[in-house]
Amino acid sequence: KVFITNNLTSQSEDIAQGVDAKKAKDKDTAEQGAGDQGIMFGYASNETKELMPAAVMFAHRIGRQIAKIRHAGRQAKWLRPDCKSQVSIRYEGDKAIEITAVVISTQHTEDVRRKDIEKFMIEKVIKKCLPKSLLTKNTQYLINPTGRFVIGGPQGDAGLTGRKIIVDTYGGSGRHGGGAFSGKDPSKVDRSAAYMCRWVAKNIVAAKLADRAELQVAYAIGHPEPVSITVDTFETGKVDEEVIEAAVSEVFDFKPAGIVRQLKLKQPIYRSTTNYGHFGKDHLSWEQTNKATALARAVKKFSK
């Protein structure tokens, strides 16, 4: 027998009174307060066409290639669904010089030899996905480092509270405020403001105002406006960071309801965020560079 108990309750009235939109007849949902206090970050870099850090995009490429092979079912029939990848890159300044290590852990059937898995992953996955110019004789390939990965999924390990917040974002290249995304509706700025910050940072780089940009915002629960907005261009900015901050504040609406409206966060758009990260996918609203021109114009205005 299976017993299902429904323990869902409404949100605390103490929280809801600050988060729900004010009911004044002359105001709309623009006065909705932030669903929690916290700090959120967004990051962008011109090192890839998606304006994302190379290491995390390369890791996602590997994951996609393995899934593509498994779904096709024509080769590597020993592959099973559980898999993760990691790529380490050596930089000189902001330029990627070499991939120092590639780690792949992929679930497999009992009857395949480890050396066959290793050879397949190097030849059919890694060398097909990653730039040849960055793979050197010193690159380490660590395939199923424990030696065996037959038991996978929730049967093997079920510790995924909040999901993996670093691989969901920038792979460690940009900072993270600590709040997970998945399972939260857009009133929670942990999710919506992180998407907003990515959108803004990407438009800063797309407008060629900087080669790298990180946006930090902070909210107080129940307050519509962020308590701070800070831009860091890591000394790659073409104009002062204070000028970019002023332009950002003019072009973008950081109120929770403004974020929802601009990014269309009440639409059924979240399915593709369940794998290969929440960023770097061109079809998502927060990945559009549709504000780059307006941002460049505002920067020119504030530079006078």
For the stretch 61-83, pLDDT in tens is 999 999 999 999 899 999 999 99
Q: What DSSP character marks residue 276?
A: S
Question: Residue 162: what pLDDT?
Answer: 62
Question: Residue 32: what pLDDT?
Answer: 78
Residue 99 · residue 87 · CB < 8 Å: yes
Average pLDDT, the chain: 91
For the stretch 97-136, pLDDT in tens is 999 999 999 999 999 999 999 999 999 999 999 999 999 9
In CATH, what number does 27-49+170-303 get? 3.30.300.10
Residue 139 · residue 98 · CB < 8 Å: yes
Handedness of CA 164, 185, 189, 280 (dihedral sign): positive
HSE, side-chain direction, 13 A CA sphere, residue 138:
8
Residue 260 · residue 33 · CB < 8 Å: no
| In the predicted structure, residue 25 carries a pLDDT above the cut 50 | no
φ and ψ of 228, to 5 deg: -160, 150
Q: What is the pTM of this model?
A: 0.90
Residue 149 · residue 105 · CB < 8 Å: yes
Question: 54-155: same fold as 27-49+170-303?
Answer: yes
**Domain ranges (residues) in the chain:** 27-49+170-303, 54-155
CATH T-level assignment (fold) for domain 54-155: GMP Synthetase; Chain A, domain 3 (3.30.300)
The residue type at 138? N
Rounded Cα distance between 274 and 20, Å, is 28
Strand-pairing partners, residue 90, are 98
